[in-house]
Amino acid sequence: MALLRLRRPFAIGVTASLVCLQIAVAASLPTTASKLGGGTAAVSSCDADGFTFHHTIDSTGTITAVTVTSIAAACAGGTLRLTLANGTTSVGSGTTSLPSSGFSGSATVTVSPTPSSSSVTAVYAVVEGP
Amino acid sequence: MRARRPAAAVGLAAALTLASVSIGLAASLGLSSAHLTTVTKSYSAPVTCTLSATADSYVNKLVATTNFGTSTVLQVNPTTLATQRTFVRFDLTTCSPAIPSDALVQSATVRLTVATLTTGTRTYELRSVTGSWTETGVTWNNQPTAASSVTASTNVSLGTAAGTVVQWTATSDVESFVTGAGTNLGWRLGDSAEGGAVGATLQLNSREAATGQPQLVVTYVA
């Protein structure tokens, strides 16, 4: 009985500690992207200070490509996905791979379809990985 | 006492189950050390600025060393012996508010006003200039090079009245100038079919004219 009296608080304590640990881990995990909000994997950013976007426009006034600059070296090896939007509607998008070695910090994404420059109200860029 | 031991065991089992679920989710996502970086650029309302030319002139093959930088007209002519081309430049840095280098140019239009058109209907090509020139120094012999690709073409018809504004879309060039991908050295206006014995001379108002001076209208978002 004395032994049981010693083991019971110990077991309860271990259980409580594990539950608390789970809660703490779940609370501390970053969820950068909303689509991963339900997950519990650790997701971090490879670039903290944002990108700069330069558009290439052809003679008809449509955007054919977007050059993204100021990409941090930590993003090398990742995949850059870019979407041009008019409000909440995608009007053009493209993807390119950022080289693992010799990455210059910039990348050009060819856009398809090619929207009129006057129709674009926002640019969304996502780097997945590395 | 015995009744409470299973309760402790159940709690421990629950904690272990939660841990397993967490590990399982992480493994299934394959993101144990992944990066996911999201950057959004939302543009503000469009801004339009209208610029006056800071330099303009034309050159004439017939008088190949003569400069016309102070003339009140700009001329274009296709004939072989007296080919004439017009040069015009605008300073984008004088736009107010200033155009940031990451701006998205929605439209840019070079607007020139017809002074006289002698005869015929012609097509006039605007090309970005790729060499340096000055308003009071440019001549046929030292005229700068121009891009091989045409920025825009516009027809001017016989009988077009003086004072009519003719425009060329230059959105691509201006975006290039703004971002620094290209250098703003202005534009050259020429006939699309230079050569031949005869041809119309298009006269346009220069920045020295009393009215209808050259303009560049730029609309951008940033």
Which residues of chain B are within 8 Å of residue A26 when distances are taken between CB atoms?
Answer: 22
Instruction: Extract the runs of DSSP E, i.e. beta strands, from chain A.
Output: 43-44, 52-57, 63-69, 79-86, 89-97, 107-110, 122-128
Using pLDDT thresholds of 50, 70 and 90, give the confidence band for residue A37: very low
Query: For the segment A63-122, what is each residue's pLDDT rounded down to a tens digit?
Result: 999 999 999 999 999 999 999 999 999 999 999 999 999 999 999 999 999 999 999 999
Residues 6 or more apart in contact with residue B56 via CB below 8 angstroms: B69, B74, B86, B87, B88, B89, B135, B206, B207, B214
A51 Cβ under 8 Å from any chain B Cβ: yes
User: When comparing pLDDT for B127 and A39, which is higher?
Assistant: B127
User: When comparing pLDDT for B5 and B44, which is higher?
Assistant: B44
A102: distance to nearest CA of chain B, Å?
19
The confidence score (pLDDT) of residue B158 equals: 77
The Cα angle at residue B146 between residues B140 and B149, in degrees rounded to 5: 140
Say if pTM beats, i.e. exceeds, 0.95.
Answer: no
Strands B84-90 and B187-191: antiparallel
- Mean pLDDT score across all residues of chain A: 78
Facing A118 at nearest CB: one of B33, B107, B172:
B107
What residue spans define the domains of chain A? 1-31, 52-128
The confidence score (pLDDT) of residue B169 equals: 97
The confidence score (pLDDT) of residue A32 equals: 34
Average pLDDT over every residue of B158-169: 91
Q: What span, in angstroms and rounded, lies between the C-alpha atoms of B3 and B21? A: 28
Using pLDDT thresholds of 50, 70 and 90, give the confidence band for residue B160: confident
Instruction: Extract the runs of DSSP E, i.e. beta strands, from B139-214.
Output: 152-156, 165-169, 187-191, 202-205
The residue of chain B nearest to residue A31, with distances taken between CA atoms, is: B36
The residue of chain B nearest to residue A126, with distances taken between CA atoms, is: B38
Average pLDDT over every residue of B30-47: 80
- Mean pLDDT score across all residues of chain B: 86
Query: For the segment A63-79, what is each residue's pLDDT rounded down to a tens digit?
Result: 999 999 999 999 999 99
Residue B32 pLDDT more than 90?
A: no
Give the range among A31-35, A103-107, B30-34, B190-194 with minimum mean pLDDT: A31-35
Using pLDDT thresholds of 50, 70 and 90, give the confidence band for residue A39: very low
> DSSP letter string over A50-85?
--EEEEEE-TTSBEEEEEEE---GGGTT-EEEEEEE
Give the range among B1-15, B143-157, B179-193 with minimum mean pLDDT: B1-15
Above pLDDT 90, what percent of chain B? 74
Pairwise CB contact (< 8 Å): B41 & A123: yes
- The reply to whether ipTM tops 0.90 is no
Give the range among A57-71, B26-40, B46-60, B142-156 with minimum mean pLDDT: B26-40
User: When comparing pLDDT for A9 and B120, which is higher?
Assistant: B120
The confidence score (pLDDT) of residue B26 equals: 34
- ω before A99 within 30° of 0 (cis)? no
A20 Cβ under 8 Å from any chain B Cβ: no
Query: For the segment B96-108, what is each residue's pLDDT rounded down to a tens digit?
Result: 889 999 999 999 9
